[in-house]
Protein backbone atom coordinates (compact mmCIF):
# COMPACT_ATOMS: atom_id res chain seq x y z
CA UNK A 1 0.00 0.00 0.00
CA UNK A 2 1.26 3.48 -0.81
CA UNK A 3 -0.15 7.02 -0.76
CA UNK A 4 0.15 9.68 -3.43
CA UNK A 5 2.10 11.83 -0.97
CA UNK A 6 4.60 9.01 -0.45
CA UNK A 7 5.04 8.56 -4.20
CA UNK A 8 5.62 12.29 -4.70
CA UNK A 9 8.07 12.36 -1.80
CA UNK A 10 9.87 9.42 -3.43
CA UNK A 11 10.52 11.43 -6.60
CA UNK A 12 7.58 10.55 -8.86
CA UNK A 13 5.70 13.33 -10.61
CA UNK A 14 1.95 13.50 -11.11
CA UNK A 15 2.38 12.39 -14.73
CA UNK A 16 4.53 9.43 -13.69
CA UNK A 17 1.88 8.34 -11.18
CA UNK A 18 -0.81 8.62 -13.84
CA UNK A 19 1.21 6.49 -16.30
CA UNK A 20 1.58 3.79 -13.66
CA UNK A 21 -2.17 3.86 -13.03
CA UNK A 22 -2.87 3.43 -16.78
CA UNK A 23 -0.28 0.65 -17.04
CA UNK A 24 -1.83 -1.28 -14.15
CA UNK A 25 1.15 -0.92 -11.84
CA UNK A 26 -0.88 1.13 -9.35
CA UNK A 27 -4.47 0.36 -8.37
CA UNK A 28 -6.58 2.94 -6.50
CA UNK A 29 -8.38 1.75 -3.38
CA UNK A 30 -9.37 5.08 -1.85
CA UNK A 31 -8.58 8.58 -3.02
CA UNK A 32 -4.81 9.03 -2.88
CA UNK A 33 -4.14 5.43 -1.73
CA UNK A 34 -2.97 2.69 -4.10
CA UNK A 35 -2.20 -1.01 -4.10
CA UNK A 36 1.10 -1.67 -5.83
CA UNK A 37 1.35 -4.33 -8.53
CA UNK A 38 -2.08 -5.96 -8.33
CA UNK A 39 -5.64 -4.94 -7.49
CA UNK A 40 -6.35 -7.92 -5.21
CA UNK A 41 -5.43 -7.20 -1.59
CA UNK A 42 -5.73 -9.17 1.64
CA UNK A 43 -7.63 -8.04 4.72
CA UNK A 44 -4.35 -6.73 6.09
CA UNK A 45 -3.84 -4.76 2.89
CA UNK A 46 -7.29 -3.18 3.09
CA UNK A 47 -6.79 -2.32 6.76
CA UNK A 48 -3.46 -0.68 5.94
CA UNK A 49 -5.00 1.23 3.04
CA UNK A 50 -7.93 2.40 5.17
CA UNK A 51 -5.58 3.75 7.83
CA UNK A 52 -3.54 5.57 5.18
CA UNK A 53 -6.69 6.96 3.57
CA UNK A 54 -7.78 8.59 6.84
CA UNK A 55 -4.56 10.53 7.29
CA UNK A 56 -1.96 11.10 10.02
CA UNK A 57 -2.93 9.85 13.47
CA UNK A 58 -5.54 7.42 12.16
CA UNK A 59 -5.53 3.86 13.39
CA UNK A 60 -7.59 0.68 13.07
CA UNK A 61 -10.17 0.44 15.88
CA UNK A 62 -13.26 -1.26 17.30
CA UNK A 63 -14.23 -4.55 15.60
CA UNK A 64 -11.56 -4.26 12.90
CA UNK A 65 -8.84 -3.82 15.53
CA UNK A 66 -10.23 -6.80 17.48
CA UNK A 67 -9.95 -8.92 14.34
CA UNK A 68 -6.38 -7.80 13.70
CA UNK A 69 -5.45 -8.68 17.30
CA UNK A 70 -7.11 -12.09 16.87
CA UNK A 71 -9.88 -11.46 19.42
CA UNK A 72 -12.98 -11.68 17.21
CA UNK A 73 -14.09 -12.36 13.66
CA UNK A 74 -15.36 -9.16 12.09
CA UNK A 75 -16.55 -8.17 8.62
CA UNK A 76 -18.29 -5.29 6.92
CA UNK A 77 -17.06 -1.72 7.09
CA UNK A 78 -13.55 -1.04 8.35
CA UNK A 79 -13.42 0.79 11.69
CA UNK A 80 -10.92 3.64 11.90
CA UNK A 81 -10.47 6.14 14.73
CA UNK A 82 -9.10 9.60 13.88
CA UNK A 83 -8.19 12.73 15.89
CA UNK A 84 -11.34 14.57 16.87
CA UNK A 85 -10.73 17.69 14.80
CA UNK A 86 -10.79 15.71 11.55
CA UNK A 87 -13.97 14.52 9.80
CA UNK A 88 -12.67 12.02 7.27
CA UNK A 89 -15.27 10.16 5.21
CA UNK A 90 -14.47 7.27 2.90
CA UNK A 91 -16.80 4.64 1.36
CA UNK A 92 -16.49 1.34 3.20
CA UNK A 93 -14.84 2.97 6.22
CA UNK A 94 -16.64 3.70 9.48
CA UNK A 95 -14.85 6.69 11.00
CA UNK A 96 -14.83 7.29 14.76
CA UNK A 97 -13.62 10.67 16.04
CA UNK A 98 -11.85 10.93 19.40
CA UNK A 99 -10.51 14.13 20.92
CA UNK A 100 -8.41 12.25 23.50
CA UNK A 101 -6.65 10.06 20.94
CA UNK A 102 -3.27 9.57 22.59
CA UNK A 103 0.00 8.25 21.21
CA UNK A 104 0.15 5.87 24.17
CA UNK A 105 -2.91 4.01 22.87
CA UNK A 106 -1.28 3.27 19.51
CA UNK A 107 0.38 0.00 18.50
CA UNK A 108 1.56 -1.54 15.25
CA UNK A 109 0.65 -5.03 14.11
CA UNK A 110 2.12 -6.17 10.79
CA UNK A 111 2.96 -2.51 10.17
CA UNK A 112 -0.67 -1.42 10.61
CA UNK A 113 -1.42 1.36 13.11
CA UNK A 114 -4.01 0.01 15.54
CA UNK A 115 -5.47 0.80 18.96
CA UNK A 116 -3.81 -1.09 21.82
CA UNK A 117 -5.59 -4.18 23.25
CA UNK A 118 -7.12 -2.36 26.23
CA UNK A 119 -8.53 0.47 24.10
CA UNK A 120 -9.76 -2.10 21.56
CA UNK A 121 -11.68 -4.03 24.23
CA UNK A 122 -13.27 -0.81 25.52
CA UNK A 123 -14.34 0.11 21.99
CA UNK A 124 -15.66 -3.37 21.20
CA UNK A 125 -17.94 -3.17 24.24
CA UNK A 126 -19.91 -0.42 22.46
CA UNK A 127 -20.68 -2.46 19.35
CA UNK A 128 -20.73 -6.15 20.33
CA UNK A 129 -22.88 -8.37 22.56
CA UNK A 130 -21.83 -9.29 26.10
CA UNK A 131 -21.04 -12.83 24.97
CA UNK A 132 -18.79 -11.56 22.18
CA UNK A 133 -17.02 -9.14 24.52
CA UNK A 134 -16.46 -11.94 27.05
CA UNK A 135 -15.00 -14.07 24.28
CA UNK A 136 -12.70 -11.22 23.27
CA UNK A 137 -11.55 -10.81 26.88
CA UNK A 138 -10.75 -14.51 27.13
CA UNK A 139 -8.87 -14.42 23.84
CA UNK A 140 -6.86 -11.37 24.96
CA UNK A 141 -5.90 -13.29 28.09
CA UNK A 142 -5.07 -16.48 26.18
CA UNK A 143 -2.90 -14.55 23.73
CA UNK A 144 -1.12 -12.77 26.62
CA UNK A 145 -2.24 -9.36 25.35
CA UNK A 146 -3.89 -8.31 28.62
CA UNK A 147 -5.31 -10.31 31.53
CA UNK A 148 -8.71 -9.43 33.07
CA UNK A 149 -7.19 -8.17 36.32
CA UNK A 150 -4.90 -5.72 34.49
CA UNK A 151 -7.74 -4.72 32.17
CA UNK A 152 -10.02 -3.98 35.14
CA UNK A 153 -7.35 -1.92 36.90
CA UNK A 154 -6.69 0.12 33.76
CA UNK A 155 -10.31 1.26 33.63
CA UNK A 156 -9.90 3.25 36.84
CA UNK A 157 -7.54 5.75 35.19
CA UNK A 158 -8.94 5.64 31.65
CA UNK A 159 -10.54 8.84 30.27
CA UNK A 160 -14.33 8.77 30.31
CA UNK A 161 -15.79 7.47 27.08
CA UNK A 162 -18.44 5.01 25.86
CA UNK A 163 -17.78 1.40 26.74
CA UNK A 164 -15.87 1.83 30.00
CA UNK A 165 -18.90 1.53 32.27
CA UNK A 166 -20.20 -1.54 30.49
CA UNK A 167 -16.80 -3.21 30.48
CA UNK A 168 -16.30 -2.46 34.17
CA UNK A 169 -19.67 -4.01 35.01
CA UNK A 170 -18.90 -7.05 32.91
CA UNK A 171 -15.54 -7.63 34.59
CA UNK A 172 -17.08 -7.16 38.03
CA UNK A 173 -19.81 -9.71 37.33
CA UNK A 174 -19.65 -13.32 38.40
CA UNK A 175 -18.32 -14.28 34.96
CA UNK A 176 -14.77 -13.57 36.12
CA UNK A 177 -15.20 -13.97 39.87
CA UNK A 178 -17.04 -17.23 40.47
CA UNK A 179 -16.36 -18.60 43.95
CA UNK A 180 -15.26 -22.19 44.37
CA UNK A 181 -18.70 -23.18 45.70
CA UNK A 182 -20.55 -21.50 42.80
CA UNK A 183 -18.27 -23.13 40.28
CA UNK A 184 -18.69 -26.50 41.99
CA UNK A 185 -22.49 -26.28 41.81
CA UNK A 186 -22.41 -25.38 38.11
CA UNK A 187 -20.06 -28.24 37.27
CA UNK A 188 -22.11 -30.81 39.23
CA UNK A 189 -25.30 -29.69 37.43
CA UNK A 190 -23.45 -30.24 34.18
CA UNK A 191 -22.40 -33.76 35.23
CA UNK A 192 -25.99 -34.73 36.08
CA UNK A 193 -27.01 -34.15 32.44
CA UNK A 194 -24.88 -37.08 31.23
CA UNK A 195 -24.44 -40.70 32.24
CA UNK A 196 -21.47 -40.22 34.55
CA UNK A 197 -21.26 -41.20 38.23
CA UNK A 198 -21.13 -38.37 40.74
CA UNK A 199 -17.54 -37.46 41.68
CA UNK A 200 -16.15 -36.79 45.12
CA UNK A 201 -15.60 -33.09 45.71
CA UNK A 202 -12.92 -31.15 47.56
CA UNK A 203 -10.99 -34.25 48.67
CA UNK A 204 -7.31 -34.54 49.52
CA UNK A 205 -5.29 -36.62 47.11
CA UNK A 206 -1.50 -37.10 47.00
CA UNK A 207 -1.11 -34.20 49.39
CA UNK A 208 -3.33 -31.80 47.40
CA UNK A 209 -6.97 -30.83 47.55
CA UNK A 210 -8.71 -31.55 44.26
CA UNK A 211 -12.02 -30.15 43.01
CA UNK A 212 -13.55 -33.34 41.58
CA UNK A 213 -12.32 -36.93 41.80
CA UNK A 214 -13.65 -40.18 40.35
CA UNK A 215 -11.78 -42.90 42.34
CA UNK A 216 -13.01 -45.76 40.13
CA UNK A 217 -11.75 -43.98 37.02
CA UNK A 218 -8.60 -42.42 38.40
CA UNK A 219 -9.85 -39.10 36.99
CA UNK A 220 -9.30 -35.64 38.49
CA UNK A 221 -10.98 -32.47 37.22
CA UNK A 222 -9.85 -29.02 38.33
CA UNK A 223 -12.09 -26.02 37.64
CA UNK A 224 -9.88 -22.95 37.65
CA UNK A 225 -12.20 -20.40 39.18
CA UNK A 226 -9.31 -18.20 40.31
CA UNK A 227 -7.34 -18.53 37.09
CA UNK A 228 -7.24 -14.80 36.45
CA UNK A 229 -5.75 -14.01 39.86
CA UNK A 230 -3.04 -16.65 40.11
CA UNK A 231 0.54 -15.54 40.52
CA UNK A 232 3.46 -17.16 38.66
CA UNK A 233 4.37 -18.96 41.91
CA UNK A 234 0.86 -20.38 42.23
CA UNK A 235 0.88 -21.45 38.58
CA UNK A 236 4.16 -23.27 39.20
CA UNK A 237 2.59 -25.10 42.15
CA UNK A 238 -0.34 -26.08 39.92
CA UNK A 239 2.06 -27.68 37.44
CA UNK A 240 3.85 -29.58 40.22
CA UNK A 241 0.51 -30.76 41.59
CA UNK A 242 -0.54 -32.06 38.15
CA UNK A 243 2.79 -33.83 37.75
CA UNK A 244 2.38 -35.54 41.14
CA UNK A 245 -1.08 -36.78 40.15
CA UNK A 246 0.19 -38.00 36.77
CA UNK A 247 3.08 -39.92 38.37
CA UNK A 248 0.48 -41.56 40.63
CA UNK A 249 -1.34 -42.82 37.52
CA UNK A 250 -4.20 -40.30 37.53
CA UNK A 251 -5.65 -38.42 34.56
CA UNK A 252 -6.08 -34.68 35.16
CA UNK A 253 -8.35 -32.32 33.20
CA UNK A 254 -8.66 -28.55 33.65
CA UNK A 255 -11.60 -26.30 32.78
CA UNK A 256 -11.94 -22.56 33.37
CA UNK A 257 -14.91 -20.86 35.00
CA UNK A 258 -15.85 -19.31 31.66
CA UNK A 259 -15.89 -22.75 30.00
CA UNK A 260 -18.12 -24.24 32.69
CA UNK A 261 -20.60 -21.39 32.43
CA UNK A 262 -20.57 -20.50 28.75
CA UNK A 263 -19.18 -23.53 26.93
CA UNK A 264 -20.76 -26.57 28.66
CA UNK A 265 -20.96 -28.57 25.43
CA UNK A 266 -17.22 -28.16 24.90
CA UNK A 267 -16.57 -29.22 28.50
CA UNK A 268 -18.61 -32.38 28.07
CA UNK A 269 -17.06 -33.05 24.64
CA UNK A 270 -13.68 -33.26 26.37
CA UNK A 271 -14.77 -34.94 29.61
CA UNK A 272 -17.04 -37.73 28.35
CA UNK A 273 -14.58 -39.46 25.93
CA UNK A 274 -11.86 -39.41 28.57
CA UNK A 275 -14.21 -40.86 31.19
CA UNK A 276 -15.45 -43.54 28.77
CA UNK A 277 -11.89 -44.56 27.90
CA UNK A 278 -10.96 -44.82 31.57
CA UNK A 279 -14.09 -46.91 32.23
CA UNK A 280 -13.03 -49.38 29.53
CA UNK A 281 -9.60 -49.70 31.13
CA UNK A 282 -11.06 -50.47 34.57
Looking at the structure, tell me whether residues 142 and 188 fall in a common domain. no
Please indicate, yes or no, if residue 2 is contained in any of the structural domains. Answer: no
Q: Within this chain, do residues 242 and 150 fall inside the same structural domain, yes or no?
A: no
- Rounded to whole angstroms, how far apart are CA atoms 128 and 10? 42
- Residue 214's domain comprises 180-281
Tell me, yes or no, whether 218 and 257 share the same domain.
yes
- Whether residue 168 is found in the same domain as residue 233: no
150 and 60, same domain (yes or no): yes
- Nearest by Cα to 117 from 97, 136, 144, 145: 145
Dihedral sign for Cα 191, 193, 196, 200, please.
positive
Domain boundary among 175, 190, 211: 175
33 is a domain residue: no
Looking at 175, 197, 220, the residue that finishes a domain is: 175
Instruction: Choose the weakest-confidence range: 57-61, 140-144, 176-180, 198-202.
Output: 176-180
Residue 74 lies in a domain: yes
Position 129 pLDDT exceeds 50:
yes
Q: If you average pLDDT over every residue of the chain, what do you get?
A: 85
Q: State how far the Cα of 278 lies from the Cα of 262, in Å rounded to an integer.
A: 26
Could you tell me if 47 and 130 lie in one domain? yes
Region of poorest pLDDT, from 3-7, 111-115, 236-240: 236-240
Domain check: are 144 and 189 in the same one? Answer: no
Q: What angle do CA 261, 266, 268 make, to 5 degrees?
A: 90
Q: In what order do the strands lie in the sheet with 106-109?
A: 93-98, 78-83, 59-60, 112-115, 106-109
205 lies in a domain?
yes
- Residues 6 or more apart whose CB falls under 8 angstroms from that of 78 comprise 46, 47, 50, 60, 64, 92, 93, 94
Taking 70 as the threshold, does the pLDDT of residue 42 lie above it?
yes
Shared domain check, 153 and 55: yes
The dihedrals phi and psi of 229, each to the nearest 5 degrees, come to -120, 10
Q: Confidence class of residue 194 from pLDDT cuts 50, 70 and 90?
A: confident
Q: Is the model more confident about 164 or about 231? A: 164
Within a domain: 17: no
- Pair (212, 169) in one structural domain: no
Note the pLDDT tens digit of each residue in 224-272: 754 444 556 777 888 899 999 999 999 999 998 778 877 889 999 999 9
Share of residues in the chain with pLDDT > 90 (%): 40
Looking at the 3D structure of the chain, how many domains does it have? 2
Residue 188 in any domain: the answer is yes
CATH number assigned to the domain comprising residue 236? 3.40.960.10
pLDDT for 83 beyond 50: yes
Q: Do 138 and 228 lie in a common domain?
A: no
Higher pLDDT, 147 or 23: 23
Q: What is the mean pLDDT of residues 15-41?
A: 90
Classify residue 5: in a domain, yes or no.
no
pLDDT of residue 177: 44
Same structural domain for residues 214 and 194?
A: yes
Residue-level pLDDT at 88? 66
Cβ atoms of residues 71 and 120 within 8 Å: yes
pLDDT given for residue 50 in this prediction: 93
Q: What mean pLDDT do residues 122-133 have? A: 87
Q: Could you say which of 122, 152, 175 is where a domain stops?
A: 175
Are 185 and 75 in the same domain?
A: no
CA 172 to chain centre: 18
Amino acid sequence: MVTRKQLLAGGLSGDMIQRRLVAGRLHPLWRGVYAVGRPEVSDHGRWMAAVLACGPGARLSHGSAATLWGLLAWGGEIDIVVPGHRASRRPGIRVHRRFDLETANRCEVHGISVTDPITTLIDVTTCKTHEQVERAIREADRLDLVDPATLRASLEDAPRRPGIGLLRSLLDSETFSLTDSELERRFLRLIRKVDLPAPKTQVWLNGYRVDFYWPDLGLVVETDGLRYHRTPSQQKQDRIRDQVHTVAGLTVLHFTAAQVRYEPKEVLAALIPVARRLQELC
